[in-house]
Amino acid sequence: MQKAKIIFNPSSGRQLMQRRIDYLINLLVNDGYIVQKFDTQKKDDAMLETMKSCEEGWDFIIACGGDGTVNEVAKGIAKSERKIPVAILSAGTVNDFANHVGLPKNMDRFFQMIKDEKIIDVDLGKVNEQYFVNVAASGFLTSVGYQVQPEAKAIFGRMAYYIEGAMEIPKQSFHPMRVRFESEEYNKEEDIHLFLISNSASIGGFKRLAPDASISDGYLDVVIIKKSDVQDLAQIFISIFRGEHINHPNVSYFKSKRVVVESEEKTPIDVDGEYGGTLPAIFEVVPAGFKIFVP
């Protein structure tokens, strides 16, 4: 008889998510699973409950929330000696990682995925002492994710990010930052607008922002958008939809296992949509650091 811990962020997604979870609990209980649901209330609740679940002998976790919730669960797994698998149930505004992997949103298919017990190892990213499932980024517009209020996310969904982004553009005025990159593959100091260090191809709702990324290749994908005028920036962002931005002369794209990023400015880092400190920072991959259920 397997024991499943559901870790749910009530502020993620629409209110009907609670009814979907109740339906899933009924499916699990009727099939003989022992189920306990934990509602998060504040930052780090999901991480601490994950660590507790690993210690107490739960068989797997169902992480229900956005990328931030999944990040905390992954962080809890990474900090635990016992690595239990995670079923990710999309409930947030963007859910880049779940969308990239193609995880089911229908409760019957999600339940069947758990029953089938197909579990794979996926990489994690690490920046200093923090972990990320999907992406760490810094620069132009990357603060939008953690500046959007939970109430706005619940009401407006993904549009909340676009609204916040539109408000942020006049503040930043396309001001570039001077950054030094050090890795085996790329060593340069240059003026840039932003950089993204990703584990998956889908970032911020754009499905091909890191088009060659794989969650299990043992590498992180680095996208750097260099100093550009407004016209070039517009062209770069338009071509992101087709994954062709990496061919623009003002964009650098490479894979690496470890990247050191330094800047004299105290530039904030976004880690899976949450504030992750400031530069300088060391970004590195944790191969096969996380186990997930897949269809």
Average pLDDT over the chain, rounded to whole? 86
Asked if the model's pLDDT at residue 238 lies above 90, the reply is no
Asked if the model's pLDDT at residue 99 lies above 90, the reply is no
pLDDT, one tens digit per residue, over 3-31 is: 999 999 987 655 678 889 999 999 999 99
The more confidently predicted of residues 40 and 243 is 40
The CATH number covering residue 217 comes to: 2.60.200.40
The answer to whether residues 199 and 220 touch, using CB atoms and an 8 Å cutoff, is yes
Tokens of 284: 């590195």
Same domain, 89 and 134: no
Of 8-12, 76-80, 94-98, 234-238, the least confident: 94-98
Same domain, 108 and 181: no
Q: Is the dihedral of CA 14, 15, 18, 19 positive or negative?
A: negative
Alpha helix stretches (DSSP H) within the chain = 17-30, 45-56, 67-78, 96-101, 107-116, 144-147, 150-156, 159-172, 230-240
Element (H, E) at 248: none
Q: Is 274 a catalytic residue?
A: yes
> 272: domain range?
130-288
Distance CA 88, CA 292 (A): 7
Same domain, 148 and 283: yes
Mean pLDDT, to the nearest integer, of 25-47? 96
Mean pLDDT, to the nearest integer, of 137-157? 52
Residue that terminates a domain, selected from 65, 92, 123: 123
Same domain, 96 and 134: no
Please tell me the pTM assigned to this model. 0.84
- Pairing type for strands 34-39 and 3-8 reads parallel
The CATH number covering residue 51 comes to: 3.40.50.10330
Same domain, 113 and 88: yes
The answer to whether residues 142 and 172 touch, using CB atoms and an 8 Å cutoff, is no
Asked if the model's pLDDT at residue 199 lies above 70, the reply is yes
Residue length of the chain: 295
Residue that terminates a domain, selected from 98, 123, 148: 123
190, part of any domain: yes
37, part of any domain: yes
- Of 168, 244, 262, 274, which residue is the catalytic one? 274
Q: Which residue has the tokens 């209330």?
A: 41
The more confidently predicted of residues 161 and 205 is 205
Structurally, how many domains does the chain consist of? 2
Q: Using pLDDT thresholds of 50, 70 and 90, give the confidence band for residue 206.
A: confident
Same domain, 156 and 209: yes
